[in-house]
Structure 1
Amino acid sequence: MSNNNNNSNQPAVPQAKAGLNKFKMEAAQEVGVNLKEGYNGDLTSREAGSVGGQMVKKMVEAYERNL
């Protein structure tokens, strides 16, 4: 990959960070995961995966609506 930044947790567009955090919080609420601002290392793998999965599901749905 040609990206010089080795930290994959950084958004490609840094200005999008607030929007991504809001999106993540909405997805967590939809799947019933109690996500808090900042550190969430106490989540189980299942909880964290369900939040990520919900985010992907919503992104795919948005993409399909815009086809």
Structure 2
Amino acid sequence: MSRNNHVVPEASSGLDKMKFEVAREVGVDLKDGYNGDILSRDAGRIGGNMVKKMIEAYERSLANNK
């Protein structure tokens, strides 16, 4: 179980889906459950790309609300 607390708990499943999608895009083999065997570099690539996608989505929403 994750130790991270989500600000919006309802977003948890969407964030998990995004995590697996990004992992596939960067070539990291994530599996359900324990993933402590992946390199920290790979975990960072997944997290960094997730943040990048979230920022892009937010910027798009700002541009659409002009």
Shorter-chain TM-score bucket reads 0.7 to 0.9
**1: distance between equivalents of 2:51 and 2:11?**
16
Q: Structure 1's 38 and 49: CA in aligned 2 closer, same or farther, altered over 3 A?
A: same
- TM-score, structure 1 as length reference: 0.80
Bigger share in helix: 2
Q: Does 1:25 pair with 2:20? A: yes
What is the percent sequence identity of the aligned residues? 62
1:4 aligned residue: none
The CA RMSD measured in Å over matched residues stands at: 1.6
Deviations 1:39-62 (A, max 9, x none): 100010110000001100100110
What residue ranges of structure 2 are gaps of 5+ in the alignment?
A: none
Letter in 2 for 1:15: E
Large movers: runs of 4+ above 4 Å = none
Normalised by the size of structure 2, how large is the TM-score? 0.81
Unaligned runs of 5+ in 1: 1-6
Count, aligned residues? 61
